[in-house]
Amino acid sequence: MMLVDQSVTQLLTFLLPVVLMTIIYYRGSQGEYYRLDFSGRRWYYALAGIVVTLLLIPANDWLTTWNDSWNLGKVGEVLRSVQDSTEGMVEEMMSTDTVAGLLGNLLVVALIPAICEEVFFRAGIQNLMQKWMKNPHVAIWLTALIFSLVHGEIFSFMPRFVLGALLGYLYVYGGSLLPNMMAHFVNNALVVVLYWLVARGVLDIDPEAPLNLDWGLTVLCTVAAVVLFIVTFFRCNKQPLKD
């Protein structure tokens, strides 16, 4: 039942409003508005975006640990209680050891949010902000702020904020919804698969525990991610790859 509720919420809250808006105001040019370009080079950008996302896992883990240590007093205690309750329900949903359960969670926790949230936040909000402000960078970071706030988890705010910015840049410089959708899907799917492997007994770890990776490795991976992004997206934005 929780899987159905999650799916319906995603579809009605994030996907439907943007679809209706584009039908009303962009009839006949929805593909151009969404940037629905799935041509050969966009898959190259999608693969590069996935690698960048994976390379940023150590930095994201550090941000998560730091964010979780925030002391917000009495208000923070209330917010943490709410977040713990929400995370508890999600963990219960993902703690399945069946293949059917894995596929269901990949659909509901990874694929549907990757589509619905990217349509809403990047094709919807970010596009509108860029039209109003004429500055893609301001639009990207403001959308990332909204993206993180809407999820309502203050002790996961920073890593989600940075992820939102990365997805925004993938959308702008990848020239399509495909790179950011794929990166969003992989980011969520990794968590789903990790929980499934733990439930199956393949891994004996706490899925929520920090990685505590070496600082040197974290810096190296972050620099590699930045360099890959610049070389692939900034350079190719000026000199697009041939299909």
Can you give the pLDDT at residue 179? Answer: 96
Tell which residue, 165, 158, 193, has the closest CA to residue 180: 165
Q: Return the amino acid letter for 39.
A: S
Q: What is the pTM of this model?
A: 0.92
How far is it, in rounded angstroms, from Cα 135 to Cα 86?
36
CA-nearest of 15, 200, 198, 192 to 107 is: 192
Instruction: Band the pLDDT of 157: cuts 50, 70, 90.
Output: very high
pLDDT at 241 over 70: no
Residue pair 105/192 in contact by the 8 Å Cβ criterion: yes
pLDDT tens digits for range 183-233: 999 999 999 999 999 999 999 988 888 888 899 999 999 999 999 999 998
